[in-house]
C-alpha cells in the first residue's frame, strides 16, 4: 500500500499525525502500520467494511482502547505535535481535548441540563450562571436548544433517539474540545435525524477538527472533506473525498465504493 499517494498537510493545517500505528488485541492485529495526517478544521471520514479497524483507529486518538484488556499499541500519534501515546500523558486531560460521540446515543440518566453540564462540572465550573450560559451555548451549537429549552430539567431519556444523539454532541462540545470523534453517529437513527446530524457536522467543522467513522459511503461523501479507506487493518487510500469517490487509486477502494464487497 506504500505506493499509494497519501495526503500531506502543512503542519499548521494538521491536527493529528499518525505514524506507523499498529494496534492488536490479545496478539490479534487490528491495525497494521497506519500512517496518516488528519487536517485541522476539516471533516475527515474513515470508511471501510466491518472489522477493518476504523473504530480502533478512532478510539486510539482519545485512548479509549486503554480500557480494553490485552490491547497493545505501537507507533506514534501526535496531537498538534505532542505525543499522546506516551505513558506520562494525562489521559483525562487528553480526553478533554478530544471529544467523542458514540454509535448508540448514551445520555446519562440525568436531566438534559445535567448531561451537558457534566463535563463542565468535572472541570470545576460550579457557578450556576456560567453553567447555564455554557449549556445554552452547547445546546445551540448542537442545534437542540429550541427543542429542549423548556424541558432542561426533564430526564434526558425522555428525548427521542435523534435528540439524544444531538444532546450527546452538545455534551461533548460543551467542554470545547479541539477534535471531535464521531463513531458512526447516525447509524442508530432514522433518516430525518440522520440528516440533522449530518447538517450539524457541517456546521461544527468551522470550529472543530472532526473525524467521523461511518460504514455509509453516501454519508461520507456528503459530510466529509477527506476520506480514508481502511481494509483489514491497513490504510488503503486517503485522499480528498471527491477524488476518492470519483477517481479511486486502489483497486480495493474501487471495489468497495462500487459495492462489490462490504
Partner 1 sequence: MKTPSGWRSGDGALWLSTGAVTLTLLLTVTLLVLLGRVGFGHFWPEPLATFTFDPATEQTPLVAARREHGTFALADGGKEARTLLRTGNRDTAAPDFRWIANASLRSAHFDPAAIEIERRSWGPALGLLAPPEAPAANRASLAARQWARLEEALALPSQARTVSLTLYGADGSARPLPLAEVVRAWRPNAMDLGEKLSLYFSRIGAFISEPPREANTEGGIFPALFGTVLMVMLMTVVVTPIGVVAALYLHEYAPQGPLTQTLRIAVNNLAGVPSIVYGVFGLGFFVYLVGGSLDSAFFADALPAPTFGTPGLLWASLTLALLTLPVMIVATEEGLSRIPRQLREASLALGATHFETLRYVILPQALPAVLTGVILAVARGAGEVAPLMLVGVVKLAPELPLDGTFPFLHLDRQFMHLGFHIYDLAFQSPNVEAARPLVYASALLLVLMIVLLNLGAVLLRAYLRGRHRDPLG
Q: How far is the CB of 2 from partner 1 (least distance, A)?
A: 33
Residue 203 three-state SS: helix
> How many other CB atoms sit within 10 Å of the CB of residue 24?
17
CA–CA distance, 22 with 225 (Å, rounded to integer): 25
Q: For residue 158, state whether it binds partner 1 (rule: CB under 8 A).
A: yes
Q: For residue 106, state whether it binds partner 1 (rule: CB under 8 A).
A: yes
Q: How far is the CB of 212 from partner 1 (least distance, A)?
A: 15
CA–CA distance, 146 with 257 (Å, rounded to integer): 38
Q: For residue 119, state whether it binds partner 1 (rule: CB under 8 A).
A: yes
Q: For residue 93, state whether it binds partner 1 (rule: CB under 8 A).
A: yes
Q: Are 187 and 216 a contacting pair, CB within 8 Å?
A: yes
Please identify which residue in 142, 169, 175, 228 interacts with partner 1, judged by CB under 8 A.
175
Residue among 35, 49, 76, 38 nearest 227 (CA)? 38
Q: For residue 96, state whether it binds partner 1 (rule: CB under 8 A).
A: yes
Residue among 22, 133, 174, 5 nearest 85 (CA)? 22
Burial grade of 121 (CB within 10 A; 0-12, 13-18, 19 or more):
exposed
Q: How far is the CB of 106 from partner 1 (least distance, A)?
A: 4
Q: For residue 8, state whether it binds partner 1 (rule: CB under 8 A).
A: no
Total residues at interface with partner 1 (CB under 8 A): 29
Q: For residue 195, state whether it binds partner 1 (rule: CB under 8 A).
A: no
Q: Are 188 and 157 a contacting pair, CB within 8 Å?
A: no
- Which of the residues 50 through 89 are near partner 1 (CB under 8 A)? 62, 64, 67, 69
Stretch near partner 1 under the rule CB under 8 A, chosen from 23-31, 50-58, 118-126, 200-208: 118-126
Burial grade of 260 (CB within 10 A; 0-12, 13-18, 19 or more):
exposed
Q: Which is nearer to partner 1, 123 or 246 (CB)?
A: 123
* Residues found near partner 1 in the complex (CB under 8 A): 62, 64, 67, 69, 92-93, 95-96, 99-100, 102, 104, 106-110, 118-119, 122-123, 155-158, 168, 171-172, 175
Amino acid at each position: 500500500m506504500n505506493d499509494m499517494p497519501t495526503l500531506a498537510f502543512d503542519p499548521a493545517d494538521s491536527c493529528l499525525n499518525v505514524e506507523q500505528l499498529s494496534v492488536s488485541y490479545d496478539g490479534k492485529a487490528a491495525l497494521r502500520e497506519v500512517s496518516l495526517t488528519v487536517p485541522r478544521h476539516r471533516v475527515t471520514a474513515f470508511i471501510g467494511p466491518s472489522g477493518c479497524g476504523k473504530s480502533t483507529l478512532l478510539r486510539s486518538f482519545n485512548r479509549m482502547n486503554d480500557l480494553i484488556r490485552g490491547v497493545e499499541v505501537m507507533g506514534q500519534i501526535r496531537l498538534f505535535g505532542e505525543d499522546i501515546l506516551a505513558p506520562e500523558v494525562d489521559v483525562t486531560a487528553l480526553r478533554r481535548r478530544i471529544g467523542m460521540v458514540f454509535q448508540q446515543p448514551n445520555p446519562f440518566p440525568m436531566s438534559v441540563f445535567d448531561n451537558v453540564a457534566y463535563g463542565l462540572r468535572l472541570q470545576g465550573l460550579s457557578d450556576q450562571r456560567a453553567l447555564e450560559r455554557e449549556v445554552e451555548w452547547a445546546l445551540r451549537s448542537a442545534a437542540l436548544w429550541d427543542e429542549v429549552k423548556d424541558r432542561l430539567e426533564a430526564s434526558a431519556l425522555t428525548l427521542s433517539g435523534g435528540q439524544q444523539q444531538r444532546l450527546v454532541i452538545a455534551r461533548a462540545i460543551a467542554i470545547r474540545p479541539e477534535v471531535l470523534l464521531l463513531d458512526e453517529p447516525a447509524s442508530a437513527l432514522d433518516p430525518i435525524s440522520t440528516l440533522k446530524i449530518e447538517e450539524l457536522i457541517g456546521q461544527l467543522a468551522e470550529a472543530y477538527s472532526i473525524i467521523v467513522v461511518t460504514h455509509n459511503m453516501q454519508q461520507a461523501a456528503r459530510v466529509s472533506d477527506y476520506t480514508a479507506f481502511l481494509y483489514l487493518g491497513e490504510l488503503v487510500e486517503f485522499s480528498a473525498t471527491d477524488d476518492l469517490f470519483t477517481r479511486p487509486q486502489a483497486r480495493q477502494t474501487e471495489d468497495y465504493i462500487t459495492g462489490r464487497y462490504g
